[in-house]
Amino acid sequence: MGILIDARALLKRYTVGEDEVLALDDVSCRIAEGEMVAIVGASGSGKSTLMHILGCLDRPDRGTYVLAGEDVSRMSADRLAEVRNRRIGFVFQSFNLLPRLSALENVELPLVYAGRTDARARAREALATVGLADRMRHEPNQLSGGQRQRVAIARALVTDPALLLADEPTGNLDSRSGADILGLFERLNTEGHTVILVTHDAAVAGHCRRQIHLLDGRIDDPGGTQPGPEALPGRESTAPAPLATAATFAVLFPAILKVGLKSLVANKLRSFLAMLGIIIGVGAVIAMLALGAGAQKQVLDRFTAMGTNVLLVMPAQRGSAGVISGSQQNLKIDDALAVAREVAGVTFVAPAVSSNAQLKYYGKNTRSNIFGTSSSYFAVRDLEIDRGRAFTEGEVDRMARVAVIGPEAATNAFGDSDPVGEVLKINGINFRILGVTKAKGEGWGSPDDRVIIPYTTAMQQLLGVDYLREIDVKARSEADLDRVKEDLTQLLRKRHRQLPGVEDDFRIMDMAEIRKNATEVTGVFKWLLGGIAAISLLVGGIGIMNIMLVTVTERTREIGIRKAIGAKERHILLQFLIESVIVSGLGGFIGLGLGVGLATVVPRFAPLPALVEWRSAFLALGVSAGVGIFFGLYPAWQASRLDPIEALRHE
């Protein structure tokens, strides 16, 4: 029979306050495969410390420990976790069962960390072996002390380990339950398991064929513990390679998710408070982006309503060096006619003049913008007639006193009366209203508060001018705009006899370019609103970090239990990271509903347009999950780095 445990000259010190306690002092022992050994001693003798070292939960300050031919001091943290998972089964005095898991879930946990796909079936077999087939779904607080100890034994057995370590296995049991447990250990030993019982009870130790007595950290029975010649030298591990990470994750993730959800449900108020910052943050981001997108769409719709593929030719404005020659009076009717005649790619040209004037209808007086133009203006600006008709080019040629009125101007001048066919005095001159335009909405260049009349009538009878305010040009398509703009520039420079190098005495405004610039400006404001709202996401993330740090502290002992049964550092990291993501993700979904709700409700009570962009909404949702990862990473890392034995000792 080979040597399973070969420990030599083990020394372990602990610092308690300012005092140093020598827990083990030059302890050496060998235990063969298949033995049933009792480590016996009074409280404080060092027996639990020795068990923790033999179980790879703790490391000695000095000495060597070879387990199944492998030097434990050379093992990495992950390798130690694998050894605890596959070769060692722990039965703790206080059972150390996870309270939120059923007996079945507690027993299958070591196999879950091993990535075993048959974890549930093997856990059922282990519970049946210890006589708890009818208690599998019960949680620890629903079981008696003896039943909980049996669950702990089933958990220790489920991976079929070579070594079973039991710390005071009958200490919390009545005599009958204690006898049953000891009988179970004896049966396991006859089946080939190496069993080590740690006890202070001589009656319990009497069930073992061999006893190792400790007194004040030293071996008290040298005859039974001196190393023999058959002790094996240290060698590389021959343990089977662990399963692939992907397979382990596929088994582990559902179990972690379930524990995370149970943890949230068990602390409902705290979980909600942790989510609250994320809920408010995501809701605010989505609502603010929706308001920004709504405002952006409103602005773009207004520019679109002014006409597409449109160029506005206007006189140049005053420069810093003085007035450019011909400024404000250099555009003529002949220029407009030349544009219509000579520039290719132009479909409509509309000369225009404008001025404010007094409107009078019977005893009602008001002021509005008078806009003189041609009949093609309605096509250039995509302006539709709601009632009546537009004036014709024949009426323009004969300087008819007719008008088309915008809906806002019509309301101001006529109230609720239908203006079509009525006579309206403009600066004392009678004009017959032919039609009313459809509303375009408020904004720059809106025709809603205009009275549109023939430009010939406006220039010669109303305003007395011979120059134009602007020339509206509609290109055949948006693709033609650049070429039309270039041809317009060359034509007008030629007509205005401008020398090379002289600055243009006109300016051309491209509606497509104006719309593009408006898109960029409103886009900046939209994301600025979203960025301001995103600050609350940052605050929510800090809240999650605080809650997770508290959770790690509260569950330190649970972390120790998980590490004792084989959880690696990455498993613990993943456990708390997923719980953090659950909090932030769930908060994100609630915040998504809140944000969409606000974007729907706010426009009903305030003149604020809102448009939910689902791309932005799901981006905010993704950011909330990212916040959970970012702010949950540090607490999760802290949890993963906890020393297993220190975590188990945490109260």
Same domain, 45 and 183: yes
Domain that holds residue 466: 331-495
Pair 82, 179 in one domain: yes
Q: Which residues are registered as beta bridge partners of 14?
A: 21
Residue 308 lies in a domain: no
Does residue 439 lie within any of the structural domains? yes
Q: Quote the pLDDT of residue 233.
A: 39
Taking CA 602 as the corner, what is the angle to CA 597 and CA 607, rounded to the nearest 5 degrees? 150
The answer to the question of residue 313 being in a domain is no
Mean pLDDT, range 114-138, rounded to an integer:
89
Q: Is the distance from CB of 133 to CB of 127 less than 8 angstroms?
A: yes
Is the CB of residue 349 less than 8 Å from the CB of residue 473? Answer: yes
Angle in degrees, 0-180, between the axes of helices 175-190 and 145-157, rounded to the nearest 10: 10
Does one domain contain both 20 and 120?
A: yes
Give yes or no: residues 71 and 10 share one domain: yes
CA 378 – CA 384 distance, rounded (Å): 7
Tens digits of residue pLDDT in 450-497: 999 999 999 999 999 999 999 999 988 878 888 998 999 999 999 988
pTM, two decimals, is 0.65
Closest CA to 623 of 293, 288, 278: 278
pLDDT at 526: 67
Same domain (yes/no): 357, 411: yes
Task: Identify the three-state secondary structure at position 353.
Answer: strand
Give the pLDDT confidence of 351-402 residue by residue, as tens digits. 999 999 999 998 899 999 999 999 999 988 888 999 999 999 999 999 999 9
Residue 251 lies in a domain: no
Q: Are residues 466 and 336 in the same domain?
A: yes
Query: Does 507 reside within a domain?
Result: no
Higher-confidence residue of 213 and 224: namely 213
Question: Rounded to whole angstroms, how far apart are CA atoms 181 and 179?
Answer: 5
Number of domains in the chain: 3
| CA gap 82, 365 in Å, rounded | 93
Q: Report the chain's terminal Cα–Cα distance, integer Å.
A: 41
Residue 354 lies in a domain: yes
Check whether residue 76 and residue 187 sit in a common domain: yes
Of the two residues 172 and 127, the one the predictor is more confident about is 127
The mean predicted confidence, pLDDT, of the chain is: 84
109 lies in the same domain as 214: yes
CATH number at residue 45: 3.40.50.300
- Whole-angstrom CA distances from 430 to 423, 434, 461, 633 are 6, 13, 11, 78
Asked whether residue 306 is domain-assigned, the answer is no
In terms of domains, do 222 and 283 share one? no
Same domain, 543 and 455: no
Give the pLDDT confidence score for residue 229 in this predicted structure. 35
Beta bridge partners of 542: none
pLDDT tens figures, 397-427: 999 999 999 999 999 999 989 999 999 999 9
In a domain, 317, yes or no: no
- Shared domain check, 563 and 460: no
The rounded percent of the chain whose pLDDT value lies above 70 is 88
Residue 448 CB neighbour total at 10 angstroms:
19
**Is 415 in the same domain as 529?**
no
Q: CB–CB of 299/518 below 8 Å?
A: yes
